[in-house]
Each structure stands twice: as structure tokens, then as C-alpha cells.
Amino acid sequence: MAQIPIFAPKFLKMLADYSEEHIKTLEWREHIRLRPGMYIGKLGDGSSQDDGVYVLLKEIMDNAIDEYMMGNCKKIDVSIAGRKVRVRDYGRGIPLDKTLDVFSKMNTGAKYDSKAFKKSVGLNGVGGKAVNALSSTLAVKSFRDKQVKTVEFKRGVTVNDCPIAPADEENGTEVVFEPDEEMFGNYFFISEYVETMIKNYVYLNAGLQINFNDTKYMSRNGLADLLNENMNREGLYPLIHLKGNDIEAAFTHGQQYGEDYYSFVNGQNTTQGGTHLIAFREALVKTFREFYKKDYDPADIRSSIVAAISIKVEEPVFESQTKTKLGSKDMGPQGPSVRNFISEFIKKHLDDYLHKNPETAKTIQKKIQDAEKERKAISSIQKLARERSKKVSLHNKKLRDCRTHYNTGDSDKLDSTIFITEGDSASGSITKSRNVETQAVFSLRGKPLNSFGLTKKIVYENEEFNLLQAALNIEDGIENLRYNYVVIATDADVDGMHIRLLLLTFFLQFFPDLVRKGHVYILQTPLFRVRNKKETRYCYTHNERQKAIRTLGPNPEITRFKGLGEISPDEFKHFIGKDMRLEPVRMKKDDAVNGYLEFYMGKNTPERQDFIIQNLKLEEDKVEEEAVIG
């Protein structure tokens, strides 16, 4: 007789207790608020580009963009004042008697009519409802034929369904909402992230004007404008810009390491790629191999490439509601496969371009050959480095891993984080207080090497950098990155700042995509602890310290944290939990990265010495001022 498992009595009791009272039906807004990750990915506080507050804006923007794609809208106004977001398009406007339903009834929307929205961004009628449910207030106005319909909501509940009234405004829809602090916490908007989103919209919709906080954005050259905006330096050859029905592509090779792609489907920025990006990368390799009649390695062909690809797919299938990764294998129900469609387009048009532009073709071939030489030069070092990293990982000396790792197709794993810290005491405190499910710790041994001006061989010859690369799993690019957040956690003193610079130099030199794609952050930890017998306040700035002193009354206990190692694990858990303060490391086109690295990390110059002396003097003056105030 088979032995009855020890858990069987509990299981049988669960079955016996299972009755009608255990079945619960949630209203649509309750479900969205209970499981927001299903609709907008993660919540976040606005410090990351993929935080939910930006997804809410995107959902409303997508509806306005669809009006443009249908030929009914030439201008969109967007404004953000504090936490209040306003989007006004000048399309057809929602049919007045359906305005309430569009924002309060699931599976309601015009996009179910595939003839009207054949190649729309969203087809499920969910986006507007998700914004409504996750906003403390939302008001929608539909202007149509000199009439207006206004509906107001609070957390998805209708509070004011106004009757249709006369109006003297252009047709279109206005949505004003404020993300709910109950859901997003102490959130904020970073204007640069919103500007990037808006610029992508205009690059993909040439001729569309979007006004954001009184600044006008418009593009005439599509993806060519996008690449020119995002490249810090000119490419090795003029941009190759190819356009066809339902497809547009642009690319060049730069002088940086890695591959840099911008991919879009029906105007949606698919930051996590998908079938179209895979097909595009394959098509480039195949076309170049056939043109040069040489079986070049794919990594050599794509090394240092900067490219953008946009396609329009009928009824696209995305791998999540946030629509950041395309899952469709076909261009439409009766269309060709995505792979064949892109492959045939690239083969024909790129091959024609290379034959007509022989100088560019020579430049590309030389770039491929140079990449091949460098790869072969480091192959033996790479092999030894892999063996060394596996051995160290096996003994778990430097990496204290977490259980959940970043997966671009899995929205519930977006919080996967690795803290890069220095010193046993600091890494020990973080390790003891971290969330072992989602947070890993990598311990540096002393200051890393200054990698400025060095070749990629250093990544494999230097043990610290080699092991860090292995921990992140970015040897072959950031597609297999194991952590969504790469957080530099160092002391807020001169040595800590120096380590930050050394790590950022390493990332910017060899893995710039980590920074460009918004994965690198600086952990902000408090400088002071101010407390009395009843309350403790942690202060991240000198102003917060002074405010805490005034609030807590006379003679509070003030502690100045000189390093991360001085913060106990019990306290540290407050700083790396849900209220963790992360400062994103951001790059813009105007940032002269090479110039910055040369100034800070190059050979000593009189200018840098003067800069250091002057800033040390400012810091000394600040300390003296604090001593007087304190």
C-alpha cells in the first residue's frame, strides 16, 4: 500500500473547507488595483523609465496617436504640472454617449473594430480603464460637433457624469489625471523621460506635432532623426535609412562597444525587443555575409552598431499589457511571417544601397574586420576568464545572489536588483538586510582599475571586472542581463565617489547600453540620523537634517553616517526596501561622454587640479557652516 503523504490531512481539510464563500468576484477597478503588474508592469516612484506613472501617460498617449494614424489628428498637447497630467488630442473625439463606458467598462473600445484600427497599438480596451483605476482623480472630456461630454472619476468610481453641453472647441479628447499616491507612493515625474517618450512618438509619426509644457516637438526624417538625436558622435559612415510599406529602418556603425537598438511596433517603443528585432538582427548578418561573400561572425558584423527598426503589424500580440516585447510571428492573419517580411526587405534594399555606395561598403567591411581581429586577440584570455569566473561563482566569494532574476518577458521580475558595494562591512550590512528574493550583492575588493582608454581585453584580464561582467551576464550584450537594476552602493565620501567614477567609466567604456537603457543607478543612503525618544528621522541632505532638528524639538540625538558599514542591518533594511532612493544615471545626446571621461579619468591636468581644489574648498566651507548652525 502506498504511504499517505504527511501533508494529506491538511490538503483534505482544505478541500472540505472549500465552499461558495471562498469564491470572490472582483470589480474591474478592484482587480486592477489588486494586480497592477498585470496591466502596467511595475509601480515604481518615477525614478525609472519603465515605472508605472509613465505607462499611465503612455496609455493615454497611445489613444491620441491612434487618431493621428487614422488621419484625424495633427496635434497633441501634453502638460505635467506637479503630479497632474493633461493630454489633449485634436482627433474625432469619443462618441459622446460612450465616453463613460470607454473609461469604466472593460473590453469596451473602438479598437475591436479591426477595420477602423487595423494597425493600432492596443486592441484590448484596457489601457484607459487601467489609468482610471490607478489614478486618484481622472476627468475626461470629449469634444464633438460643438458639444462636450464630461465625466469625472475618483479611483475608477464615477463621481460626476455631466450631461452633454454646448462647446466652442475643436473636436478631440482631453484626459486629465493624477496617479494615485496610495498605489505609487511618493512618486514624481522626470521630464527627460517624458521628453524621450514624446520624441519617439514624433520620430515614428513624421509630421505630427506634440507640444509638451509649451515646447514643440516634430520630426520630418523619422528614424534618421531619432538616431541623430541619440548618438553622441557621428557614425563611421552616413546613416543608412531604408523605408517601405509598413517598415522603416536606419543604422550606422559607431565607435562604442556593444550594440544599440531602438525598436517599435505600430508606434509603440518595444524596449524589450521581440520577434521583429530578432529578425532585423538576423537580416543584417545574412545580407552582409552575402554581399561580402564571407561568413563573418554575427558578433563582428553587429559590433558597435546603432540601429532603429519600426514595423506595422495587423493585430499585434505583445507578451504583456505594457506592450514592450512583440510576440507576433506573423504580420497579420493573412500576412507573411515577421521574419520573412523583414528579411526580404533588408536583403533587397540594403544590398541595393551597398552596391550604389561602395565607399560606405568598404568602411563597413573594415569595421567588421577590425572587430574580428579584436575578438580573436582576446579569445584565449576570455576562455581563462570564464573558467576563473565559474570557479569563483561556485565558491560564492563575491556574489551573494538572489532567487529571482530579470526576465524581459516577465513583468513580475522587473524588480531584480544587484548592489555593487565595496568593503566587507558595507556588503555585510546590505547582505543581512536585503530581500533575498529580488536583491543580490556583489562585493568589490578595493578600488577598481581605471579603465579609461583601455581595450576590452581589460574586462577579461582584470579579475574584478571579469567577475562583475560574469555576475551581470552581459558578456554577449545586455539581452541576458540578470538584474534590471544595477545599483552602485558606495560611501558618500571622496573614496566612495572615486569608486563610483571608476565603475561608471567601466560601464560607459565597454557596456554603454546598460546606462542608455536605464539600468544603472546610484543608491542614496542617509547622511544623518536625527532622533529623540519618540521618533527617528533619516536625512539625506543638510536641509532635511535642519528640518528634522526643528521638528523633533530641542537637543535631539544627531548621528553623522561616515560610511555604509556604520549603518546596522536593522537600519539598512529601511533604505533598500520599498522606499529605496535611487538616482538614475542618465545619458543625453548633449552629454560629451568622452570629454567627461577624459577630464575626470584621464591624465592629471592643471584644469582638473583646480576643479578638485575649488570643490574641496566649497565642501570645507559647508562643513564649517554646519558646525556653526549645529
Predicted pLDDT at 218:
93
Name the residue among 427, 503, 243 with its Cα closest to residue 353. 243
- Angle value at C-alpha 278, between 277 and 279, nearest 5 degrees: 90
Q: Count the Cβ atoms, other than its own, within 10 Å of residue 214.
A: 7
Residue 2 CA: distances (Å) to CA of 5, 12, 477, 496: 9, 17, 51, 62
Give the model's confidence band at 388: pLDDT under 50 very low, under 70 low, under 90 confident, else very high.
Answer: low
- Angle value at C-alpha 117, between 112 and 119, nearest 5 degrees: 115
Section 111-123 average pLDDT: 48
Q: Per-residue pLDDT for 150 more than 50?
A: yes
Task: List the beta strands (DSSP E) in 213-355.
Answer: 215-217, 240-244, 247-253, 260-265, 268-269, 305-311
Measured CA to CA, the distance from residue 348 to residue 356 in angstroms comes to 13
Measured CA to CA, the distance from residue 373 to residue 379 in angstroms comes to 10
Give the model's confidence band at 124: pLDDT under 50 very low, under 70 low, under 90 confident, else very high.
Answer: very low
Measured CA to CA, the distance from residue 427 to residue 434 in angstroms comes to 10
Predicted pLDDT at 627:
45
The edge-to-edge listing of strands for the beta sheet with 305-311 is 240-244, 247-253, 305-311, 260-265, 268-269
Instruction: Give first-to-last CA distance, the chain, whole Å.
Output: 78
Cell numbers standing for residue 362:
568598404
What percent of the chain clears pLDDT 90, i.e. is strictly above it?
A: 32
Section 142-152 average pLDDT: 92
Cell numbers standing for residue 244:
517601405
Give the model's confidence band at 108: pLDDT under 50 very low, under 70 low, under 90 confident, else very high.
Answer: low
Q: What architecture does CATH give domain 32-217?
A: 2-Layer Sandwich (3.30)
What kind and span of H or E run contains 166?
strand 165-166
Predicted pLDDT at 605:
63
How far does CA 389 lie from the centroid of its chain?
A: 28
Section 363-370 average pLDDT: 94
Measured CA to CA, the distance from residue 261 to residue 310 in angstroms comes to 11
Residues 527 and 575 sit within 8 Å (Cβ to Cβ): no
Residues 114 and 266 sit within 8 Å (Cβ to Cβ): no
Q: Count the Cβ atoms, other than its own, within 10 Å of residue 157.
A: 12
Predicted pLDDT at 623:
47
Among 379-383, 417-421, 443-447, the range scoring the smallest mean pLDDT is 379-383
Q: Per-residue pLDDT for 139 more than 90?
A: yes
Q: Per-residue pLDDT for 448 more than 90?
A: no
Q: Cell numbers 553616517 label which residue?
A: 561
Predicted pLDDT at 4:
45
What kind and span of H or E run contains 358?
helix 358-395
Measured CA to CA, the distance from residue 282 to residue 261 in angstroms comes to 13
Predicted pLDDT at 8:
57
**Taking all residues of the chain, what is their mean pLDDT, rounded to a whole number?**
82
Measured CA to CA, the distance from residue 374 to residue 563 in angstroms comes to 41
Predicted pLDDT at 252:
94
Residues 421 and 430 sit within 8 Å (Cβ to Cβ): yes
513's CB contacts (< 8 A; 6+ apart) are: 258, 259, 260, 477, 478
What percent of the chain clears pLDDT 70, i.e. is strictly above it?
A: 81
Per residue, the 3-state secondary structure of 57-71, as one string, reads HHHHHHHHHHHHHCC
> Where in the chain are the domains?
32-217, 223-375, 396-525+563-591, 528-560
Q: Which one of 3.40.50.2300, 3.30.70.1060, 3.40.50.300, 3.30.230.10 gives the CATH number of domain 223-375?
A: 3.30.230.10
Write the pLDDT tens digit of every residue in 166-178: 999 999 999 999 9
Among 347-361, 388-402, 552-566, the range scoring the smallest mean pLDDT is 388-402
Cell numbers standing for residue 449:
582599475
Predicted pLDDT at 121:
54
DSSP string, 101-151: HHHHSTT-SGGG-TTTTTT-S--SS-HHHHHHHTEEEEEEEEEETTEEEEE
Section 407-430 average pLDDT: 75
DSSP string, 459-497: HHHSHHHHHHHHHHT-TT-GGG-S-SEEEEE--SSHHHH
Q: Per-residue pLDDT for 123 more than 50?
A: no
- Based on its alpha-carbon atoms, the radius of gyration of the chain, rounded to whole angstroms, reads 27
Residue 427 CA: distances (Å) to CA of 117, 306, 433, 499: 53, 37, 10, 14
Measured CA to CA, the distance from residue 501 to residue 498 in angstroms comes to 5
Cell numbers standing for residue 398:
563575491
Measured CA to CA, the distance from residue 503 to residue 523 in angstroms comes to 14
Q: Which residue has the higher pLDDT, 589 or 231?
A: 231
pTM recorded for the entire structure: 0.70
Section 429-435 average pLDDT: 89
Q: Per-residue pLDDT for 355 more than 90?
A: yes
Q: How many residues does the chain have?
A: 630
Name the residue among 586, 479, 519 with its Cα closest to residue 230. 586
Predicted pLDDT at 365:
95
Judged on CB neighbours under 10 Å (0-12, 13-18, 19+), 420 is buried
Write the pLDDT tens digit of every residue in 389-414: 555 454 446 788 888 887 654 545 66
Write the pLDDT tens digit of every residue in 567-597: 888 888 888 887 788 888 887 654 556 666 7
Pairing of strands 268-269, 260-265: antiparallel
Letter for the amino acid at 70? Answer: M
DSSP string, 315-341: S--BSSTT--SB--SBSSTTSPBHHHH
Q: What architecture does CATH give domain 396-525+563-591?
A: 3-Layer(aba) Sandwich (3.40)
